[in-house]
Amino acid sequence: MANIFGGSEIVEMGIQIEKNGMDFYEVLAEQSKNKKANEIFKFLEGEEEKHIAAFQKIFDSVKMYEPPESYPGEYFAYMKSLADEHVFTKKDMGKEIARKTRGDKEAVRLGIKFEKDSITFYEGMKKVVPENQHKIIDALIAEENGHLLKLSGLRDSL
């Protein structure tokens, strides 16, 4: 089985996830009438922008990287499966979903889901990037966990 896509393309998916996350939170901040929700959505928008820069740094190091596998194409098939389930890998989906969101409670519920999906995707990404990049991805995962806590706290206050 040939690789479906390479490590750099997986990192590009991570970049797209973060771009859509940034767009998602930007639109939610514009729509929200709740001061606390607005502040958190703006904060999360800025965080996603930082994550894009972190993934850009990883991108060059994975262009020719081939992870060790039990069988050819194992990790790339796994990552494709995760990406197919993650709506934020599709261009402009962040804005589209945010515009359809009705109210802060739904926005927070969706934000929590997307943050969890991102964590799962990034955990899988660690298998297809060189080990010297794992600390960066671990830091991004830790930040995504922090976003989950912020959104959970907001959900509980709404």
CATH classification of the domain holding 123: 1.20.1260.10
Alpha-carbon torsion (49, 14, 94, 109), positive or negative: negative
Q: Which two tokens stand for residue 132?
A: 């010297």
Give the model's pLDDT for residue 4: 41
Number of domains composing the chain: 1
The pLDDT, as a whole number, for residue 50 is: 92
Question: What is the C-alpha radius of gyration for the chain, rounded to an integer number of angstroms?
Answer: 16
Range of the domain at 22: 7-157
**Residue owning tokens 């930082």:** 50
> Residue 63's pLDDT is what?
61
pTM: 0.81
Tell me whether residue 1 is in a domain: no
Q: Residue 156 corresponds to which tokens in the numbers above?
A: 């509980």
Is 105 inside a domain boundary? yes
Residue reference for tokens 């109210």? 103
DSSP state letter for 63: T
CA dist 144 and 94 (Å) reads 16
Say what the pLDDT of residue 1 is.
Answer: 38
Q: What is the mean pLDDT of each run of 10 residues along the chain (158 residues)?
A: 55 85 96 96 95 82 64 70 70 91 96 92 81 84 93 95
134 within some domain = yes
CB contact at 8 A, 14 and 55: yes
Burial of 127 (0-12, 13-18, 19+ CB in 10 A): middle
Do residues 54 and 140 lie in contact, with contact meaning Cβ atoms separated by under 8 Å? yes
